[in-house]
Structure 1
Amino acid sequence: MKKIRIGVIAAAGKGTRAYPRTTFIPKPLFEIQGKTILHRNIELLTEKFGVEKIYILVGYLKEQVVAEIEKIRFFSRKGPELIPSEWTTQGLGADIASLRDRINEPFVTILGDEFYYKTTHENFLKTLQKYPKLSASIGVQKTTLTSRIRKNYSVELNRDKIINLVEKPTDPPNNLLGLGSYLFTPEYFSFYDNTSPSPRSGIIELTDVIDKMAKESKGSVYATQMNCEYFNINSMQDYHHAVYEIRNDQFEKYSVSIVVPTQNHERSISDVLVDFKGKAKEILVIDNGSTDDSVKLAAIEKAKILSLPSDVEQDLGSQVRWGIEQAKGDIVIVVSPDGSFRSKDFPKLLEYLKDSDMVVGTRTTRQMIEQGSNLRPLARLINLFMGKLVEVFWWGQEPRFTDADCHYFGVWKESYNKISNELNEKSRFYVVELMIQFVNAHMRCIEIPVSYYKPVESSDYALMESIKNAWKIFNIILRKKLMPNND
């Protein structure tokens, strides 16, 4: 058999262990490198098996899942037929059994919250060719991490033949990890009917059905050995681990742009550009009508200079957003032109961007603030308070902030594009809006400590100026909380 025509993806579960994100987004719609896990599993079934029809089991937040299916249909018009199918609420075993009237040939099933990277799923076809009368086959992988087996299930073999399955074993018998990928024949349906409910859950567990098939079916159940990077997305940490590993593996292919907004910074612009030279594919200096030698000095350092167009608001927030839009890199780092930040923290921003959508510096670590800096205790306290205010207002999203106005940060351009239409703050306090909008969009914004130096041509924040700045930031936070879509 050169291909399997029918696929099933289980995308119905609630995913309570991935709270708080699953309150808003079902796990199969978590994105990895710009595509949902559901989309990637559809591609897997199509590329590895040539499936012509995929039944997608939907339940929790099904409107979102169905909308994603429609989106995939629109952009993959020559792909397989995608058919949403209602869950039974009685577990995966029952959900698969509910398809009995629509499937009468071998079919592949994949769990919708599992992600496979560089996988060899085509080995299922080799197993079916080797054992054409099999009843089922399950994907297995050797692992040195017994903790992963304890979270899934263990498999005991006699050569390729499966003789025993144990769900979440406390003491795994070997190093074989059972995966959430299965090849079933219609024989599955009759065995489901004859499997007793689990005393633990009160429902008929999928592993119990497969275990019964392994011990009683004439065709028997065989293991399909697979090589892949396997990620079972049970929790948010599982998800972030998967995102990190894939980005880390592919990181060299991503390009980086540095955006430096300027308006009359001739005393510091050269130092900033020399410090960051060679760190990125391009350094963009976004000039907002400088009347001094800022542009001339930037040209000497061979930065790419772009003048802010007249139809763009002549304020720092608009200036930076326009600069990010012009950047060609997959990653955009924004740094102020006044010499307050250094490239020594640049690698930290990139490293943490492997694990998040936005990384923003915090200047509240006292040991990393240059002596004599203009960031006095009152200013640090105000920024700390405003950062914690964001935490309180968006408590359900679990952000952690200690600074609300650090002008040294990095974003993935793809992630930024998803929220750019929601950004409206024109003033120099645009950073807090950007942080909030990433949180609002259920994306990950991480804060890291960065060194802070005394800016060129700076003055200490006076009491009244600090209070005015705090009031402006507070108003931005309040507006984003009370009118998130009506700025």
Structure 2
Amino acid sequence: MFQGKHVAVVVPAYNEEGTIAGVVEEFLDEPHVDRVIVVDNNCKDATAERAREAGAEVIAESAAGYGCALRAGLDHGVATAADILILTEADGSFRASDVPKFLFYLEDCRMVLGTRTTRQMVEQGANMHKLLRWGNVAMAKLLELFWYLPHEPRLTDVGCTYRALWSSAWKSIREGTREPGPSFSPEMICAAYQRGLRVIEIPVHYGARLGGESKHSQSLLHVSRTALGMFKAICRKRFVG
């Protein structure tokens, strides 16, 4: 609970049985978090069981993809009376200790984005090599350019899952999102700007994965595909709607 507001954390998961329990427990131990919603996105292992055992609320989403899983989790959070929704990863790369920072900044805006591009907060072993970092920065600057008027955004990382928003903000932008994969992240931001919502970005701690491998950035090919998808999504939102 934060100032009388119900806080729910949404975790998309695909075959994360080795890390999910630790992530759920860490976020449930954070005093402001009321519950954790884990989205089982067609897991073929014991992710759902481990999440339930750790105290999470588990829902299933059969439409495959990062964006589909997050959309389902956000919808469920809204439907079950959450006031504030926080998105994070199932791999343990983000820290629950950053939750209060998100919440306090939410007092002044509708959505707070995390950035993993502040080098001093990227831990050794984290999946943020130069190509990935500068690719994220490049997409962020493109989005800045397209939405400079009237918002004048200041962004460095449009692909960071770790972010927080008001339930009312998600209801406002929900119909403006359709991307099934990682392009959902910048699409959310564009949809917020289309609705005239105030969005800010803050640095977050980013550590090494505690298990498994990234589904979107484990190789140059995957990074390139993700970047191209984000580029297309940003252009579509700016010029098509």
TM-score (norm 2): 0.91
450, 462, 474: which one aligns with 2:231: 474
Residue in 2 aligned with 1:344? 97
Q: 3-state SS of the aligned residue for 1:258?
A: strand
SS of aligned partner of 2:64: coil
**Please, which of 413, 429, 432 is the counterpart of residue 186 of structure 2?**
432
The 8 Å contact of residues 141 and 155 in structure 2, kept in 1 or not, is answered as yes
Contact 2:7 2:83 in 1 (8 A): yes
**How far apart, CA to CA, are the structure 2 residues paired with 1:354 and 1:429?**
27
Deviations 1:412-451 (A, max 9, x none): 0011101111111111221100011111111111110001
Q: Report the CA distance between 1:457 and its aligned residue.
A: 2.0
Deviations 1:99-151 (A, max 9, x none): xxxxxxxxxxxxxxxxxxxxxxxxxxxxxxxxxxxxxxxxxxxxxxxxxxxxx
CA distance in 1: counterparts of 2:97 and 2:160, whole angstroms: 16
Per the TM alignment, residue 315 of structure 1 is displaced from its structure 2 partner at its CA by: 1.8
Distance 1:299 1:253 in 2: 26
2:176 aligned with 1:419: no
Say whether the 8 Å CA contact 2:182–2:230 is kept in structure 1: no
Distance 1:415 1:329 in 2: 12
Report if the CA contact (8 A) 2:111-2:198 is conserved. yes
Separation in structure 1 between the aligned mates of residue 8 and residue 44 of structure 2, nearest angstrom: 25
Shift >4 Å, 4+ stretches:
none
Task: Read off the aligned partner of 1:329 and give its amino acid letter.
Answer: A
**In the TM superposition, what whole-angstrom CA distance separates every residue of 1:67-122 from its partner, at most 9, and x where no partner exists?**
xxxxxxxxxxxxxxxxxxxxxxxxxxxxxxxxxxxxxxxxxxxxxxxxxxxxxxxx
1:316 to 66, 69, 88: 66
SS in 1 for 2:230: helix
8 Å CA contact retained: 1:332, 1:413: yes
CA RMSD of aligned residues (A): 1.6
Instruction: Report the residue type matching 2:169 in the other structure.
Output: S
User: Residue type matched to 2:10 in 1?
Assistant: V
The answer for the alignment partner of 2:75 in structure 1 is 325
Identity, % of aligned pairs?
36
Q: Distance in 2 between matches of 1:344 and 1:446?
A: 19
Tell me which structure has the larger Cα radius of gyration. 1
Residue equivalent to 2:6:
255
Structure 2 counterpart of 1:287, from 40, 50, 66: 40
The TM-score, its normalising length taken from structure 1, stands at 0.46
- Aligned partner of 1:457 in structure 2 is 212
Q: Is the 8 A contact 1:334 1:410 kept in 2?
A: yes
Q: Quick one: structure 1 residues 263 and 463, their matched pair in 2 at CA, closer, same or farther if it must change by over 3 Å? A: closer
Alpha-carbon separation, structure 2, partners of 1:271 and 1:429 = 27
| Aligned AA (2:42) | G
Structure 1, gaps ≥5 residues long:
1-250
Q: Which structure would you say has the larger RCO, counting Cα contacts within 8 Å and 6 or more residues apart?
A: 2
Q: Does 2:205 correspond to 1:448?
A: no
Q: In structure 2, how many angstroms separate the alpha carbons of the residues matched to 1:289 and 1:386? A: 29
Aligned length: 232
CA distance in 1 between partners of 2:84 and 2:45 (Å)? 30
Q: CA deviation at 1:462?
A: 3.2
* Distance (whole Å) between structure 1 residues aligned to residue 225 and residue 60 of structure 2: 30
**Which residue matches 2:147?**
394
> Alpha-carbon deviation of 1:461?
4.2
SS of match in other structure, 2:103:
helix
Q: Is the 8 A contact 2:182 2:226 kept in 1?
A: no
**Can you give the 5+ residue segments of structure 2 that lack an aligned partner in the other structure?**
none
Deviation at 1:340, TM superposition (A): 1.1
1:373 deviation in Å? Answer: 1.8
Query: Is the contact between residue 110 and residue 198 of structure 2 (CA under 8 Å) also seen in structure 1?
Result: yes
SS of alignment partner, residue 187 of structure 2: helix
The structure that is strand-richer by fraction is 1
